[in-house]
Amino acid sequence: MPSHLTRVVFQRLLSNRPIVYRGCLQRSLRPRISTHNGIQTAAQSQRRTFFGFSLKPQRKAKDPDMTPGLEKMIDLSRLTRLKVRRSPPEEVAAAFDAFFAAKEKDLKAVVEDFQINHVHNSFMYLQESNRPDGTPWLPLPVLRRAMSCLVKTRKTVDRSHVQLARIIHEEIEKRTAGKSREEEPLIDLDFSTWIRLLSMSGQSLKARELLLSENPTQSKIQAACWLNILEGLQAEGNGDEMSKSISLLRKLSVPFTRGMQQRMVEWFADKGDLEQAKYWYMQPTYNGKDHTSPNSATNAAILRCCAANQDIASGQEVIASILKVTPQKRDWDSIFVWSAATGKGVDEINRMMEVMVQRMEQIGKSARPDVNTINSLVEYAMSKNDPYSAERYVNLGQKRGIQPNAQTFILQMEYRLSVNDIEGARTAYFGLQGEDVPEDEDVPIINKLIQAMCTGTRKYDFDTIMGIVDDLGARKARLESDTVSALCLLHLKRGELRDVVDLLQTHSYHYSSEQRAAVRNVLVRFCLDRETSTASAWDAYQICRNVFDETPREIRTRIMNNFFTRGRSDMACHVFFHMRHHSNHLIRATADTYVDAFMGFAHAEDTESLELIHNQMKLDMEIEPNTRMRNALMFAYTMTENPVRAMEFWQEIFASNEGPSYSSIKLAFRACETMPFGDQHAKPIWARLMRMDVEVDKEVFAAYVGALAGNSLHEEAQELVLKAEEEFGFRPDVLILGTMYNATLSFDKQDLLEEFIKQKFPDVWTELEAIGSTSTMDGFGYKQFNINRDVNP
């Protein structure tokens, strides 16, 4: 295979130039501190940073908290991208099995899209071969468990879930093809799971079409599939197809169940269509054999719709129908909510509760308002954004001897936070501490409380916030991404970078891609904030790079440019190399990234880093130099006092198929300005422009005038300036005259030029003095006006 250096070597030999390589990869760009975990900090920082010097022993950063098996599958994805030998199939199969076993065990654990990508890659890898005995690496029970986990506890699934579920379902169908239901009794259940997943992914019509073509034999499975389709259509907002689905299932003699009725009534109730809601409410329902009455959720939905439409008569009819039979406790709660919705006050509802108790005693039943009754009233008040009434309902319960339970305190925290009453929410939180909360139902609202304390107008003591965080940590509860974002920012501002890493290692690998991006963006904003010290920005970048390896090229480029702006081209160079050597081609440096780097080194006047990156570009087979890149190189070598090398790129541009741009011409003149005998190159370029009748704008004109002045041809430059308005149609301004003045590197010539400008263009001289000036060589050199001469490559 030919060497990558062949082209460079032969070009040097043919042009009689020495082969010099200053960018040895084995030397370090700058002194740096090597650390464990792959994270480095700026060696020049004088404070104790994340992995800085300290007399105290440093505690070890936490290992990433991942679902069992995920780390092995992530490693497989990395090895696949690198196109090297991958992990043994038996290890990947064990990881796949362990991952879904853990998801099945944790009832609330869902499979996030960040994890799905690695699981999908692992599954495809295992499909490539079988065990030595010819059996598949993943047995049928493992595949079924994976399918059940993909639809668990989610209201919707995204495209990545569907893609993985489809190939797993196809594999299950392939293995069960030709088998009877006696041999494989779970065939209908496999089909039902697939129908549910399609319905959850916005493909309910496709699920219905599939159900009609492959109708399961078990009636319960049939009913469950149709219910899933109705739920999917409801989520998609397709009421017409919901009604059509009911007609289809009736033709197939599938029972119209209470669950189906609930979906139809809820749909039309939410739309405010009382007539349709009443129609479906009156439809008879079956549980397979017998008629059934509407369930409590359906009763609540129809009463809510009646109240919203101010149809008191219809609501009373519904209540009468409920009271014809012995009402359930939940039905009484719905009646109380109906009363509140129709305008009855707290005192009136209190009297209704007394009536309820008396009525139930008359029929020999013992039913009294309880904390669930109060909670349902509080939830209604919250739905109306009425925290005052919610508080009164809680007080009503206490007057009746009904003590708040965990759900009450959760609701109190929610409505108090909704009006930014953080102290009130904390009070409810303290009440919640003495309650048993089922299945960590309080975790979401406690997360909101932490977020409010971190970002609210009132500044809470750090220990006060961390006391609540530690409470969740002791319970091993999962922090939400917004909470982690707020806590990361809090720790970053306190310089507690180790705690940031521990926080991210514990939680970030359990988030979706969108949630991980939200947390990552907090680190990025902190890094890009000019109020952040350079050392802290570097530490934040290192955390971001190591924890969020998927950080896209665009964000990394912004961080690189930020370090250029901070005057730390060495740090920017490291960021560039992290991109260049990344295993993901979507993150690796592109031609535009090289251009940004060259422009940054130009402004930093960093010759060493410029040559290093330039040499790396020559070895990069994915990069083909174009005019824009050569423009950047021309500018960079000009700014690093190597205009002769810069003009070599002009020759390459001129000889290329793409040819020069306006920026190329400006930069060529800029190189001629500081190049010995540069006028011998600038004048032929100018003559060619005139001969080809190329339109000359102010920037090109200013650059040429600067090239003449830089080579001590001041009389020619002044003569050209005086003819500018007549020949080119624009009057000399700050850019033209300022460029000519700045290019003049002689005290005597600058004095003469000052007199010329004052005499011919006094208003422009006034503007030049107004924008200010500096002097080279620490104040002892030539005067330079503060004009912007940047050129977009």
Residue 345 resides in a domain:
no
pLDDT tens digits, one per residue of 344-396: 999 999 999 988 888 877 777 777 889 999 999 999 999 999 999 999 999 99
Residue 612 resides in a domain:
no
Full domain range(s) for residue 465? 404-477
Residue 3: the pLDDT is: 45
- Taking each helix axis from N to C end, the angle separating 662-674 and 643-655, rounded to the nearest 10 degrees, works out to 150
Given pLDDT bands bounded at 50, 70 and 90, which one contains residue 418?
Answer: very high
pTM, 2 dp? 0.82
Mean pLDDT of 410-424: 94
Residue 156: the pLDDT is: 67
Residue 575 resides in a domain:
no
Six token digits for residue 131 = 């065990």
Residue 9: the pLDDT is: 52
DSSP-based three-state secondary structure for 649: helix
Q: How many domains does the chain have?
A: 2
Nearest to 356 by CA among 374, 329, 320, 380: 329
Nearest to 255 by CA among 283, 278, 231: 283
Looking at 452, 477, 502, which one is the last position of a domain?
Answer: 477
**Separation between Cα atoms, residue 168 and residue 149, nearest integer Å:** 12
Residue 59: the pLDDT is: 61
Average pLDDT, the chain: 87
Choose between 326 and 117: higher pLDDT: 117
Residue 136 resides in a domain:
no
> With contact defined as beta carbons under 8 Å apart, do 538 and 42 qualify?
yes
> With contact defined as beta carbons under 8 Å apart, do 137 and 130 qualify?
yes
Mean pLDDT of 530-541: 94
Residue 659 resides in a domain:
yes
Residue 231 resides in a domain:
no
> With contact defined as beta carbons under 8 Å apart, do 67 and 106 qualify?
no
> With contact defined as beta carbons under 8 Å apart, do 640 and 606 qualify?
yes
Side-chain half-sphere CA neighbours of 280 within 13 A = 29
183 by Cβ neighbours in 10 Å (0-12 / 13-18 / 19+) ranks as exposed
| Pairing state between β 32-33 and 41-42 | antiparallel
Residue 198 resides in a domain:
no
CATH of the domain at 650: 1.25.40
Residue 6: the pLDDT is: 52
Looking at 459, 477, 495, which one is the last position of a domain?
Answer: 477
Looking at the predicted structure, is the pLDDT value of residue 40 above 50? no
Residue 647: the pLDDT is: 94
**Separation between Cα atoms, residue 550 and residue 544, nearest integer Å:** 10
Distances in Å between the Cα of 407 and the Cα atoms of 304, 431, 442 are: 22, 11, 8
Residue 228 resides in a domain:
no
Six token digits for residue 165 = 């579920």
Looking at the predicted structure, is the pLDDT value of residue 583 above 80? yes
